């Protein structure tokens, strides 16, 4: 089994789409890789949260005849010499957890939770409310900690089994490779709970026998050219970003049958089924994208956060539906249920002054006492507006006027900006939970507007019921948010976690509960996935989701393009 070193493991909490790097982690590194050269800064169009530096792909004009992103090409055969110094190598990223080695939540000497490192808005800040919130909602006892491996013992990894003729061919073609345990383990997994739990407690049973670094794919993250007239950029496939499939104008794909690409880069073509759609969503099962032309937009001159508090989740959903109906959604709009709002509020850093604390208390008094909102029912929407200043202010007024019709109250810019912090650090929180007998994960779906409220309620209740039936001693965390809106429906994102103390096989309980939640989603009219994909974790439901004939069509394409099943083995189908 061979793993390409250039295709590093998925940086997403749910690793069902191999090769997809989680946006909140990967974007800062991708932007840094792009910022070589000079020229006017541009940004690609749309996305769930284009405001955050981690969520923005910026492109600058570069010399297409220049070197490979300024990285040397002295590639040697491994094992003694490491040549993989890319930002996502194991020198920078954790081998048995989420994200960067220098970033993690920990309990400091004063007994308060703090985020180490300097990479995130919360880094270095004390979170005075978080410890108590976690203890209350997940039953954590801080004196009870799990034990996990601090470092990888090479002897724990399965031995490498490699065909010597294959190794000889690699050497003859001057392709760099490694059979070292750390390289093989690092690229043997994604970041779903099952894999991280096994890495902390034991070892994966199946890992690559060898890792190869193809010479011409290793650093393919350059922007080859920027066309400001057509607002497009031609890029190599190593760039990262969220929802890039929505920005694709043209792509070049290498498959076992040959190269797939269109003959022109027009914005629309009536030439039968769009061949791009065969590739996007195929999850690596058909070939390798080597280059793409993507849509870009000038960086907005003005950005403004906002937030709205609603008396309950149902009124918040109704408001988002009306905003979608009027097609006036801001660049980002998210609606958190009450428990997720409280979760995010618990991540609030220590206030810097008594005056700030007083103002926070005054706002809470106004909403809960003067306006009569129930603190255990409040639902909060976070907003981000972008554009020129005058249009942003007009847009902001339009959205707040709609919100007021559904009982919404403006809750301030700070709360809006803070509402996105949970996204950036949720996977680090999962790692903290694993240290204290808590397992957790995220999953998502999309649903028509008339199913959103019922689906959210029923899925959360199903999780609680399944945990109780399976002997979980403490009530689970089961929370959701509406995270993207469309004319005909919305994307819904769930978090769930539970304390597994007293349970002999927590992974089985967790996976059975997650499967039950997915079945509840499907029964309530939700999709199998909105953006995480299918991969291996969810392929048991794919035929049900797309019909027998649809499934057969996908298999036929796979069998024609990749008859030897070289790419994306066991993914999707």
- Which residues sit in the known binding site? 283-289, 430
> Six-digit token pair at 567?
């790419």
Do 156 and 121 meet the contact criterion of CB atoms below 8 Å apart?
no
SS3 content of the chain, % helix, strand, coil (to 5): 35, 20, 45
Instruction: Determine the Cα–Cα distance for residues 433 and 51; give it in Å rounded to an integer.
Output: 29
Active site residue 493: yes
Provide the 10 A C-beta neighbour count for residue 395: 19
Q: In what order do the strands lie in the sheet with 302-310?
A: 409-410, 302-310, 379-387, 332-336, 477-485, 489-499, 438-448
SS3 114: strand
Per the listing, tokens 């190598």 go with: 89
Instruction: Determine the Cα–Cα distance for residues 157 and 182; give it in Å rounded to an integer.
Output: 9
Work out the end-to-end distance of the chain between its first and last CA atoms, rounded to an integer number of angstroms: 19
Helical ranges in 263-379 per DSSP H: 275-279, 313-325, 338-346, 354-365
Provide the 10 A C-beta neighbour count for residue 527: 16
Instruction: Determine the Cα–Cα distance for residues 196 and 194; give it in Å rounded to an integer.
Output: 6
Helical ranges in 487-547 per DSSP H: 506-523, 542-546
Which of 493, 495, 500, 560 is catalytic? The answer is: 493
**Chain CA centroid to CA 474, Å:** 28
Instruction: Determine the Cα–Cα distance for residues 146 and 432; give it in Å rounded to an integer.
Output: 11
SS3 190: coil
Q: How wide is the angle at C-alpha 267 spanned by C-alphas 262 and 269, nearest 5°?
A: 55
- What CA–CA distances, in Å, run from 324 to 317, 329, 399? 11, 6, 10
- What CA–CA distances, in Å, run from 53 to 56, 73, 198, 347? 5, 29, 32, 20
Give residue 323's region: left, alpha or beta (phi > 0; psi -120 to 50): alpha
Binding-site residues for FAD, in ranges, read: 283-289
Instruction: Determine the Cα–Cα distance for residues 72 and 84; give it in Å rounded to an integer.
Output: 10
Binding-site residues for substrate, in ranges, read: 430
Active-site residue set: 493
């Amino acid at each position: 089994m061979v793993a390409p070193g250039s295709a590093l493991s998925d940086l997403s909490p749910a690793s069902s789409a191999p090769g997809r790097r989680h946006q909140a982690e990967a974007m800062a590194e991708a932007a840094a890789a792009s910022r070589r050269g000079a020229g006017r800064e541009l940004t690609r169009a749309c996305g769930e949260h284009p405001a955050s530096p981690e969520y923005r792909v910026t492109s600058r004009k570069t010399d297409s005849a220049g070197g490979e992103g300024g990285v040397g090409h002295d590639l040697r055969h491994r094992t003694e010499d490491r040549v993989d110094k890319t930002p996502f190598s194991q020198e920078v990223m954790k081998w048995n957890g989420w994200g960067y080695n220098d970033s993690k939540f920990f309990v400091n000497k004063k007994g308060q939770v703090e985020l180490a490192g300097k990479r995130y808005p919360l880094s270095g800040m004390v979170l005075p409310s978080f410890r108590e919130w976690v203890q209350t909602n997940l039953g954590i006892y801080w004196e009870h900690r799990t034990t996990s491996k601090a470092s990888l013992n090479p002897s724990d990894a399965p031995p490498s089994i490699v065909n010597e003729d294959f190794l000889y061919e690699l050497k003859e073609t001057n392709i760099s490779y490694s059979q070292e345990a750390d390289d093989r383990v690092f690229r043997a997994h994604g970041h779903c709970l099952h894999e991280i739990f096994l890495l902390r407690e034991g070892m994966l049973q199946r890992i690559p026998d060898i890792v190869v670094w193809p010479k011409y794919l290793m650093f393919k993250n350059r922007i080859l050219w920027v066309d400001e007239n057509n607002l497009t950029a031609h890029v190599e496939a190593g760039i990262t970003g969220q929802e890039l499939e929505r920005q694709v104008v043209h792509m070049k794909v290498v498959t076992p049958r040959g190269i797939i690409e269109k003959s022109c880069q027009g914005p629309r073509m009536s030439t039968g089924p769009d061949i791009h759609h065969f590739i996007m969503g195929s999850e690596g099962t058909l070939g390798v994208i080597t280059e793409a032309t993507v849509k870009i937009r000038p960086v907005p001159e003005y950005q403004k956060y906002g937030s709205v508090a609603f008396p309950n989740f149902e009124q918040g959903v109704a408001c988002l539906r009306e905003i979608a109906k009027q097609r006036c959604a801001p660049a980002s709009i998210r609606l958190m249920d009450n428990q997720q709002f409280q979760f995010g509020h618990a991540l609030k850093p220590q206030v810097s002054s008594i005056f700030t604390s007083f103002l926070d208390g005054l706002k809470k008094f106004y909403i809960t006492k003067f306006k009569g909102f129930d603190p255990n029912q409040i639902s909060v929407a976070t907003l981000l507006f972008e554009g020129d200043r005058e249009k942003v202010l007009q847009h902001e007024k339009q959205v707040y006027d709609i919100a007021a019709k559904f009982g919404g109250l403006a809750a301030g810019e700070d709360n809006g900006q803070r509402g996105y912090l949970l996204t950036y650090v949720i996977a680090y929180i999962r790692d903290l939970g694993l240290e204290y007998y808590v397992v957790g994960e995220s999953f998502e779906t999309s649903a028509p507007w008339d199913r959103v409220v019922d689906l959210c309620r029923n899925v959360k209740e199903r999780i609680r019921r399944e945990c109780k039936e399976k002997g979980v001693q403490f009530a689970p965390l089961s929370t959701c948010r509406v995270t993207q809106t469309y004319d005909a429906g919305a994307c819904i994102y769930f978090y769930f976690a539970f304390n597994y103390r007293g349970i002999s096989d927590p992974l089985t309980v967790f996976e059975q509960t997650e499967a039950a939640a997915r079945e509840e989603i499907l029964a309530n009219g939700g999709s199998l996935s909105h953006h995480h994909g299918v991969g291996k974790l969810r392929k048991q439901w794919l035929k049900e989701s797309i019909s027998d004939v649809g499934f057969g069509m996908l298999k036929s394409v796979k069998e024609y393009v990749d008859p030897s099943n070289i790419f994306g083995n066991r993914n999707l189908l």
